[in-house]
Structure 1
Amino acid sequence: MKKLFITTVIGPISPGIIKSLAEVTRSFAGEWLTSKVIKVDGHFSAMMKVAIAPEAEAELKAKFESEFTALRFFFDDVVTAAETVSTALHLTLDCGDRAGLTRDIVDVLSNLDLVIEHMEFNRVHVSTIGQTVFSSTLNLAIPEGISTESVVELLEGVSEDARVSIL
């Protein structure tokens, strides 16, 4: 039976870095079951769910750290979540930007005990209207007993001009 763990890696982008990380993983007969990569201003962050023979785990982790010295690695065991009935909700939220807006959105989601599967926020200055516009994309798992309508209503309450669209 293979051991599962999460590897998080952060550092400067270099050509072929993701491919090199994958090749090292494969050299230990490991595989990435899932991965997410984010790139921002010459840096990247990646999370990979790794499956590997238990006896090769420590050696793979050590190889990552010794071969990729410009990167920072974090390792965590996979935590299996309790099975709960939930509904997937994919939505966008758009409004004028203001201080504390992101915090208020996260507070709404946290207070409802929603599972945030993906969350992306962007701010763009729109010169034709003379203000910064806030736009976010959210993928949520809504637990049984919480309606989609109540989530939308609470999110629209974070700003007077907030518009929520279900995708």
Structure 2
Amino acid sequence: MNDLFVMSVEGPDRTGLLRKLAETTHAHGGKWLASKLSNLEGRFVALIKVEVPSENTSQLKELLVQNSEVTVTFYPCQPSTERRINAAFNIDANDRPGLVNDITQLLANHDINIEELDSHRLGLSDGQNLFTATLSVTMPPELDPAFIARELEGLHEQMAVNVIPTL
């Protein structure tokens, strides 16, 4: 029998950190089923879904927590039973204060959950800033992604939103 859990990892980034986590997991018969990893301004963060033989779970978790360089937290896997559809969007707009707040509020008002958000602010040669984002969401099946894209575009006169085809 195998156990499944999600672990979050946070700490200062350094070469070999990811290798050490993977090596420890592998040494206990575990494997990473899915992962989201990022380095932002020298801080490493990760969410990793792990499968490990039940008899090795406690020892693996103890060893991962003992790594004094990072903070590791474990969460049980809880798959959703709610019927939802996946959608993704690219957003480009002239940056302004409150833009992320407005986007997240609109999505929440439609019961849309943001699964992944990758955003950046880029300086343009004219001194303006461009806000660019890619969002992966889950949403009620009765909603049309094209409708949501039009709603998002209505938040800002200089906003372009494209629906990204999903599998």
What TM-score, normalized by structure 2, do the two folds share? 0.91
Amino acid at match of 1:2: N
Say whether residues 1:149 and 2:146 are aligned partners.
Answer: yes
Question: 1:103-135 deviations in whole A, cap 9, x for unaligned?
Answer: 111111122122323211101111x22211100
Distance in 2 of aligned mates of 1:144 and 1:91? 16
Q: The residue matched to 1:144 in structure 2 has which SS?
A: coil
Question: Is there any run of 5+ residues in structure 1 with no aligned partner, and where?
Answer: none
Pairwise CA distance, 1:91: 1.8
Alignment-mate amino acid for residue 61 of structure 2: K
CA distance in 2, matches of 1:124, 1:51: 39
Question: Which of 93, 96, 115 is residue 95 of structure 1 equivalent to?
Answer: 93
Counting aligned pairs with the same residue, the percent is 30
* 2:26 paired with 1:26: yes
Relative to 1, partners in 2 of residues 1:135 and 1:33: Cα closer, same or farther, differing over 3 Å? same
Using the TM superposition, give the Cα deviation of residue 146 of structure 1 relative to its aligned residue in structure 2, in angstroms. Answer: 0.6
Pick aligned residue for 2:108 from 107, 110, 124: 110
Partners of 1:48 and 1:148 in 2: how far apart? 28
Name the counterpart of 1:123.
121
Give aligned pairs, total: 164
Name whichever of 68-77 and 54-63 sits farther off: 54-63
What does 1:153-164 correspond to in 2, within 5 Å?
153-164=150-161
State whether residues 145 and 163 of structure 2, in contact with CA within 8 Å, keep that contact through their aligned partners in structure 1: no
Question: For residue 74 of structure 1, what is the aligned residue in structure 2?
Answer: 73
Deviation at 1:50, TM superposition (A): 0.5
Partners of 2:17 and 2:129 in 1: CA distance: 34
Is 70-79 or 148-157 further displaced after alignment? 148-157
Aligned to 2:132: 135
The TM-score normalised by the length of structure 1 is 0.91
Q: Which runs of 5+ in 2 are unaligned?
A: none
Compute the displacement of 1:54 (Å).
2.1
Offset, 1:8: 0.4
Structure 2: which amino acid aligns with 1:43? R
